[in-house]
Structures are given as C-alpha cells and as structure tokens.
Amino acid sequence: MNLTKVKNICKIGLCMALSILVLSGSVAVKAQGTDVFPSGLTVAETEKVLEQLLYSELHENTITVTGGSVRISTGEECVYAEDFGHANLADGIKTDENTVFEWGKVSYLLVWVSVLQLTEQGLIDLNADVTEYLPEGKLKEELSSETGITMSHLMNYSTGYHDSFSEKIVPEGSAYTNLEETLTTNLPEQNYAPGNVVAASDWSTALAAYIVEYVSGMSYADYVKQNIFIPLGMEHTALLPDLSDNEAVKEARKEVCSYQNNVALVNNFYHIPLYPAGMVTGTADDLHTFANALLVQDESSELFEKKETAESLFETTCFYAGTEEARIANGMFVYRLGVPVYGINGVSPTQTALVYMDPESQTCLTYMCNEYNETNLSKTISEAVFGAPEITKDENVSGLRVYEGVYVAGNSVMDGKATFNGFMSALFLTLNDNKQLVMPMLGKLPMFDIVDESHVMLTDGSLGNIYAYPDGTTVIMMPTTDYVSYSAFTYWLQVIILIAMLCGYFYSSLVVLIAIFGFILRKINKTKSEESKFRKYHYIQCLNVTIFSLVFAFMVLMLMSGAPLASIKSTAMMYWLGSVMSLIYMLFFWTSGRKEMVSKRSKVLYWTTAVFAVITVAFALVFGLIF
C-alpha cells in the first residue's frame, strides 16, 4: 500500500470520526443543557477534535499545514485559541501569538467597513455613480464611459469588470506607485452589465478603497489605522505593500516562511500594488479582534456610530439569481455550512486566512496559516464549529442537459492581450449518468454535482446555485464567483487555432534548426543547396513564426506571474510585426513562390509555411493580440 493510499484512508477515517462526534455531540450536549457551537459540539468536545487534527500522530498523514493559528469565540468571549506548528520550519521557529500572517482577500472586509463608516456620515451614497466620488482625471474619464457603476455594485462584486491579471503581485523590493496610478494603469474591461454577474475582484475592491481615500481626504492606510486599528487596539497589523506602516510587523514577517504541502516556497513574500485587496498582515489576535467587532450589533459598536449601521451589517444585499437565498451581505459572502456563516475565505500569494461569523449564535471563527491555498484543515475546523451542510440529492431531477456547455469565470479576461488566460480557465462540461458535470477533456473529471434543479455542489463540498436565464445564458453560482456560459463556437475555434499554432511552432522551429544544421554541413563539405530565390523567404517566415510563438509563451508566463501591464502591452509590437510578416510571406508566395520551379519537396514546404502563416494571423486575431 503506497503513501498516497495511506493518506487518503487516514483522511477518510478522521472525517468519519469528526462526523460521528458532531452528530453524537448534538444529542449529548442538549441532554446536559450546555451551551454549544452551531455544529452541536461543546467547547470541550471541539477542543478534542482540534487537538486530534493539529497534534495527533496522524497529523503528518492527514493535514499538510506547517503552522497556523485558530481563534474561536462566542458572544465576544474567546473560548479557544491555539497556535500550532512552525512559522519557519528550517530555523525551528514555532508559531505563537506574535507570529504574523497575511489576510489575503479577508482584507476586503476593511474596505467595506470603511465604506459603511463614510456612508453613515453621509459622505457616500451606496446607490450613486462612483464617478461622483473620483477626482478629475483619466480614471474618472474612463469610468464615465461605462454605465451605472455604484458603490453597491462594488460591494456586491457585480460591476461586470474582469479582474486585472497584471500588477496583482510584484517581487519584494520592487517599487510601487500610489493607488490612483495603479488603478488607472491597470483599468480592466467590462465583460457584463452591472448587477448581472458576481465575481470577486481585487481591482474593483481597490477602487472602493481609493474612493475611501479621496472622500476622507487621507490615504487609505491612514484612514484604516485611525478609524479601525486604533479604536480596536489592533497594534500588530500593517497593510501597506512594504508593511512600512508598522515596522514591528515588517520585522516579524521576515521570520515567517510560507509553504505548500510542507515544501517551502521559493518566493516567500510579495508586494501587492492594489494593497487594500490582499496586503494586510498581522497577528491572529488582531484579526480575531476585528472579526469580533463586526458581530457587535448595537450602540456599543466601536466601528460604527449608529446602531442602525451595526444592525444592517449582516443584512442581505445580494441574492442568488432566481431565489431568495442570501449570497452577499455588505461585501461579506454567505457560506452555507450547518448554518449560514458570513465572512471571507481568502488566499494571499503565499498564505491562507478566513473569517467566519454566525450572527445568530454570536460565534466567530478566525483561522490563519502559512500554507498557500490550504483547504483541508480550514474546512474541517469550520465544520467542527458550524457543522457540515445538510445536502439531500434529488435523484429524480431531470432536464439537466441544458447545463452542458462551456463556462468561464465572471472575472475572466475575455478580450485584449490577456484573452488567452480566460480561454485557459474555461470549463467545458458535460453531464454523466450520475448527474455530475464533468470535464471530458480531463478524463471526465467531476467538477459539480447536480443536487437539484437549482443547486450544485463542488467536489470539495461547497454548495452553489445554478440558473438558466430565458435568453439561454446559464450561470453556475458559487459564493464568490459566477461561471457564465460561453459561446461553444468561439471556444472550439480557439481550441482548433491553438492546436494549429502549436503545430506551426514545432514545424517552423524544426525547419529553422534543420536549415542551420544543413548550412553548417554545406560549409564543411563545400556543397551548394538547391537553387531557389524564394527559399530565403521561406526560412525567414519560419523564423518569424518561431519567434512569434516564443513571445506569446513569454507573455503568458508574465500574465501568470502578475507582471506589470505596461510590460505586457510592450509585446504588442511583436504580434503586429509577426502578423504583418506573415501577410507579406503569403503575398510573395502567391505571386511568385508557388510558381517557382523547385523540387516537389520544396513545393510542399513552401505551401506548408504559407498555411501556418495564415494560422499565425488567425491566432493573433482570435486571441486579441493585435487589437
């Protein structure tokens, strides 16, 4: 039995044990009349479960988290606080209450609290066009050309903008500009009309933070410090890209290493130019203090002046399409566990954090770790506190073929130089006999379980909705992102063109290598090649296609690494040059090359090069590289 099977068996056994504890605990504690978490477990029972998760001998085979911190409270009283593992495994630095972690998208909450504070002061109208709160300049001019973007759209992540792929992260030590310039130079396109599609967006959230900055008359970092950090006593949290607003946090961050599956990441720390959307770094106690403050729903709130504002924080502002099921409340997502919980489950470039709150029981869970994109432990801890979702699959549901097709995330880039990223993230889904939407191109990998006519479930157990609009558009709605149906014709055209372009690259690079090798041999043997005036154009075009393909591959790598948009745009000239040279080759080939008296082999090569010249131009057009 190999190690992978052992790990899977241990995971299954641990999950079964947890489920039994949750179910049995629900009955036992009621008999005792003891206060319980929403899951049905008492504090003592939850401690046992978490101790087994974090410290049992099975730990290495079940949970791959190097170090982290868990905080749980009820009624503002912290009933569980644990720092486990190592902040830096190689240096033997253990995690403790002074260890700092990155908030990731949890930092969105600071933006929305700031917006609500200014709203209750009458400085922001949530339903007014955002351009009313922007200074004169390029950013305001660009946004004025769009229709009806309001602060409510920003808070509900429904602006319709794609998420900027560039300048999301830059290496430590890189220079960064101010928030206004970063937003202006990375202005994304609008894929959908406002209010129609939900998709978490760093750019849109940072835009809201910039409005806070402009309306309040101080930098966003200063505003948060004066109106959130100081009132709550959060002395161990920083949020500027270089953490320079809190030197102690900056120094503490240097002692923390980041991991993925217990393997240290080479790049441990990044700056985020759109810093309100992901840059916050601080201790677990500070994060929990902030989350607990959100649960205060009366005049004792230290975040809001008016009781009405505090009470409205958990009111639903966005519903799942076609239902009255809550999805978003003032920027907080609603996650469906044993009970609805409010908050954000976020990932930074190197770490993971979450805030989950249940306003009914006044239960709050915060979790932070130095593991990138950690999901197993966070899910298990969340279910220990709030319970697992009760899902009953309708085996009789029918008419599901309408949900087959191609889907793209609502924040995918669907035009311009980064179109390829949207294409690569597209999901081609078909329905199998088990009522699952699967990806046939990946060995029929299951992606979504159809629960009933309006609900789907991800393979990790996350519950979402699915809805077919009268116009034929279908949307799979997970808490943070919509997946919208996409033209199957366009998708398959892109697939075919991409495959053809790959063939063109391999063909052209092979021709160039053979030509170089043949030239060297002829020089050594002092022989001549076949007489052909057109041959040099054939070789130049093959070199052109090779360079074109390499530049495109380099651009894709830059996009994946969050390179500045300016450097990505600089590659546009290469695509124009490659396309124009391909057109010139086709013209020369048609007027002279195809008529030249050469061997049959050379004729075939010239024709093949002409075909791939056409494909190169088509590729540039289909993937938006020259327009």
Evaluate if residue 350 carries a pLDDT over 80: yes
**Interatomic CA distance for residues 402 and 523, integer angstroms:** 65
Q: What pLDDT digit, counting tens, does each position of 538-559 carry?
A: 999 999 999 999 988 888 877 6
Which residue spans within 440-491 are E strands per DSSP? 445-450, 455-458, 463-468, 474-477, 482-486
Residue 613, pLDDT > 50, answer yes
pLDDT tens track for 228-276? 999 999 999 999 989 999 999 999 999 999 998 878 998 888 888 889 9
Residues in the chain: 627
Checking 563-566 for CB contacts under 8 A at 24+ apart, the result is: 563/166, 563/167, 564/166, 564/167, 564/170, 564/185, 565/164, 565/166, 565/167, 565/185, 565/186, 566/185
Minimum mean pLDDT range among 318-327, 419-428, 452-461, 527-536: 527-536
**pLDDT given for residue 16 in this prediction:** 41
572, 626 Cβ separation under 8 angstroms: yes
**For residue 424, what are the contacts with CB-CB under 8 A and spacing of at least 6?**
none
Closest alpha carbon to 500 in 586, 623, 615: 615
How does residue 625 score in pLDDT terms, banded at 50, 70 and 90?
confident
Backbone φ and ψ of 73, nearest 5°: -140, 155
pTM of the model: 0.86
* Long-range pairs, 432-439, Cβ under 8 A, ≥24: 435/393, 435/395, 435/397, 435/400, 437/403, 437/404, 437/476
At 184 the pLDDT is: 86
User: Which conformational region is residue 163 in: left (phi greater than 0), alpha (psi within -120 to 50 degrees), or beta?
Assistant: beta
Structural contact between residues 42 and 34, judged by C-beta atoms closer than 8 angstroms: yes
Pairing, β 100-102 against β 77-88 = unpaired
pLDDT for residue 460: 76
Q: Return the pLDDT at 570.
A: 66
Query: Which among 293, 298, 319, 324 is positioned nearest to 309, based on CA atoms?
Result: 298
508 in Cβ contact with 546 (< 8 Å): yes
Nearest by Cα to 11 from 346, 460, 426, 357: 460
What is residue 53's predicted lDDT score, i.e. its pLDDT? 82
**Pairwise CA distance, residues 165 & 558, whole Å:** 9
| Pairwise CA distance, residues 620 & 627, whole Å | 9
- The Cα 71–Cα 573 span in angstroms is 53
Q: What is the pLDDT of residues 577-588, one digit of tens each?
A: 999 999 999 998
* pLDDT for position 35: 74
pLDDT score of 152 more than 50: yes
The two structure tokens encoding residue 604: 């075939």
Residue 12 has pLDDT above 80, yes or no: no
- Going by the DSSP 8-state scheme, the letter that residue 13 receives in this structure is H
Given this model, what pLDDT does residue 627 score? 65
Residues 225, 233: Cα–Cα separation, whole Å:
10
Asked if 10 and 62 touch (Cβ cutoff 8 Å), the reply is yes
Q: pLDDT: is 461 or 171 the higher one?
A: 461
**Given this model, what pLDDT does residue 232 score?**
97
Could you report the per-residue pLDDT of 54-96, keeping only the tens digit for each? 876 544 445 678 999 999 999 889 999 999 999 999 999 999 9
**Residues contacting residue 162 through CB under 8 Å, at least 6 positions apart:** 188, 189, 190, 191, 199, 201, 411, 412, 413, 414, 422
- For 235-276, give the DSSP string: -SEE-STT-TT-HHHHHHHTT---EETTEE-SS--EE-SSGG
- Convert the pLDDT of each residue in 364-390 to its tens digit: 999 999 999 898 899 999 999 999 988
Nearest to 394 by CA among 425, 438, 354, 435: 435
Please determine, for residue 617, whether its predicted confidence score (pLDDT) is greater than 60. Answer: yes
The predicted-structure confidence for 189-222, as pLDDT tens digits, reads as follows: 888 889 999 999 899 999 999 999 999 999 999 9
101-386 CATH choice from 3.50.50.60, 1.10.1040.10, 3.40.710.10, 1.10.3760.10: 3.40.710.10
Contact by Cβ (8 Å): 140, 134: yes
- Using CA atoms, how far apart are residues 175 and 399, in angstroms rounded to an integer? 54
For residue 325, count CB atoms less than 10 angstroms from its CB and return exposed for 0-12, middle for 13-18, buried for 19 or more: middle
- As a whole number of angstroms, the distance between CA 613 and CA 619 comes to 10
Structure tokens at 252: 């503490």
pLDDT at 527 over 80: no
Residue whose entry in the numeric block shows the structure tokens 């992540």: 157
Give me the half-sphere count of Cα atoms (radius 13 Å) on the Cβ side of residue 521.
7
pLDDT at 422: 81
- The CA distance from 20 to 14, in Å, is 10
Band of residue 142 on the pLDDT scale cut at 50, 70, 90? confident
Q: How many Cα atoms are found within 13 Å in the side-chain-facing hemisphere of 285?
A: 11
State mean pLDDT over 130-150: 86
Q: In this structure, is the dihedral angle defined by the CA atoms of residues 51, 278, 419 and 154, taken in order, positive or negative?
A: positive
